[in-house]
């Protein structure tokens, strides 16, 4: 299985964000009906970052067309701000 990469993250106030690249090892997207980035941490927190680009480790957005058994099947995702929340912008409702 090939992991879905985080192509870009515009949540520049996230501790894992490094020049619009997510440096978390992997992210978790949302709850069963939401598509928020559950890995988001405010910049003031100290986190261990990786040199690599993040992958989607789990996707709980069961109402997304890219979700298959808690895995993201999109080629890549973009994370960004929407309605004051950090969300998966690649999300498409079923």
For 26-41, the pLDDT digits (tens) are 999 997 568 999 999 9
DSSP letter at 53 equals P
| Whether this model's pTM surpasses 0.75 | yes
pLDDT tens per residue across span 2-29: 789 999 999 999 999 999 999 999 999 9
Distance CA 26, CA 28 (A): 7
Report the range of poorest mean pLDDT among 12-21, 43-52, 55-64, 77-86.
Answer: 43-52
7 contact partners, CB below 8 Å, separation of at least 6: 76, 77, 78
> Token pair 């990786």 is at which residue?
50
- Characterize the bridge pairing of strands 5-9 and 76-82: parallel
The pLDDT of residue 54 is 93
């Amino acid at each position: 299985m090939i992991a879905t990469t985080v192509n870009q993250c515009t949540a520049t106030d996230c501790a894992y964000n490094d020049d619009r690249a997510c440096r978390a090892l992997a992210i978790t997207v949302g709850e069963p009906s939401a598509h928020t980035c559950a890995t988001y941490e405010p910049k003031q927190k100290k986190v261990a970052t990786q040199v690599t680009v993040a992958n989607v480790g789990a996707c709980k957005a069961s109402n997304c067309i890219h979700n298959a058994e808690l895995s993201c099947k999109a080629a890549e995702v973009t994370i960004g701000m929407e309605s004051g929340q950090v969300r998966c912008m690649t999300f498409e409702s079923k």
